[in-house]
């Protein structure tokens, strides 16, 4: 890892050593906010940020994200999680504690288009993506120099339909070896198999170069041009077994007109793709996303 980035991450960990986040998903009912707040108060925690959302009365599902500060959190966290189980059982909660000091480890997959990779690396170097980029995997050699210049391990694994099982076996072994928490497909132009996806549920973020659900699949810019669209966009989503159908995290658009040919659409689109993917990754790293069915709640 680049020395400057390593020092930044260490400073972030020290500054946030007592910072925790709690994500909650449960049936909506009275008393949830009061009970959770009282619990954290009794553990000596100070709530820094609290956001909640409830679906319509028919479905009646409640979501909550709390960020808190608690002196000596490293020593207390196991006891904190254990004590909270009683509340989780009472309210039928899916509850997850995350601790800011424990940085998520990220793997980036990329092919020949490098603009999204460059954006992630820039955000990381700037201190805006608090993660350990543990490795980069590519089916092309194009980004090796960029990646290795930052002292990030680079793995070139040629991939195609014919060798996909063997390739994914190698990739999964690397992800296990590096203890990866998040996989980012930064314009990785290969379809992942159900076996691969099943091992990392809601941990694979993809950037699709269209405003979904329009132009699912390959060559969206060419198809957008043929259709004469007046808006182009990009979509970041979690990967599922249905191509480009996973829970959407972030989207953006830009207006275009009849003068824009395919190359112009691609150039405009790359700018949108970079920012959309970077925001989605940042929100995931900050534990701001709760997946509910095929939708996301983002605090």
In sequence order, which residues have a C-beta less than 8 Å from that of residue 194 and are 6 or more positions away?
241
In sequence order, which residues have a C-beta less than 8 Å from that of residue 141 and are 6 or more positions away?
156
User: How far is it, in rounded angstroms, from Cα 52 to Cα 22?
Assistant: 12
In sequence order, which residues have a C-beta less than 8 Å from that of residue 219 and are 6 or more positions away?
none
User: How far is it, in rounded angstroms, from Cα 96 to Cα 22?
Assistant: 6
Please count the other Cβ atoms lying within 10 Å of the Cβ belonging to residue 126.
10
The C-alpha torsion from 238 through 51 and 38 to 23, rounded to 10°, is: 0
Q: Single out the catalytic residue among 56, 244, 252, 287.
A: 244
Residue in the block written with tokens 């996303």 = 289
Catalytic residue check, 244? yes
Please answer whether residues 186 and 277 qualify as being in contact, where contact means their C-beta atoms are separated by less than 8 angstroms: yes
Active-site residue list: 244
């Amino acid at each position: 890892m680049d020395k400057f980035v390593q020092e930044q991450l260490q400073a972030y960990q020290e500054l946030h050593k007592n910072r925790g986040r709690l994500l909650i998903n449960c049936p909506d009912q009275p008393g949830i906010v009061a009970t959770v707040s009282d619990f954290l108060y009794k553990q000596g925690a100070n709530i820094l940020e609290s956001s909640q959302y409830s679906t319509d009365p028919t479905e009646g599902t409640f979501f909550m994200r709390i960020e808190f500060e608690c002196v000596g959190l490293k020593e207390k966290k196991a006891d904190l999680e254990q004590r909270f189980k009683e509340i989780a059982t009472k309210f039928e909660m899916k509850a997850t504690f995350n601790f800011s000091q424990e940085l998520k480890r990220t793997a980036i997959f990329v092919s020949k288009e490098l603009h999204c990779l460059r954006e992630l690396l820039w955000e990381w170097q700037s201190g805006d993506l608090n993660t350990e980029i543990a490795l980069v995997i590519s089916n092309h050699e194009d980004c090796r120099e960029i990646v290795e210049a930052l002292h990030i391990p680079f793995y070139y694994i040629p991939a195609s339909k014919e060798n996909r099982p063997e390739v994914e076996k190698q990739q999964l072994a690397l992800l296990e070896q590096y203890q990866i928490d998040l996989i980012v497909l930064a314009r990785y132009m290969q379809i992942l198999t159900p076996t691969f996806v099943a091992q990392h549920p809601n941990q694979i973020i993809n950037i699709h170069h269209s405003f979904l659900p329009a132009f699912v699949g390959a060559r969206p810019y060419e198809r957008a041009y043929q259709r004469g669209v007046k808006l182009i966009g990009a979509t970041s989503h979690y990967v599922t077994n249905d191509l480009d159908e996973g829970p959407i995290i972030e989207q953006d658009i830009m207006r275009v007109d009849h003068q824009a040919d395919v190359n112009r659409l691609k150039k405009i689109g790359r700018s949108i793709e970079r920012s959309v993917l970077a925001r989605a990754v940042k929100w995931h790293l900050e534990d701001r996303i709760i997946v509910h069915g095929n939708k996301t709640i983002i605090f």
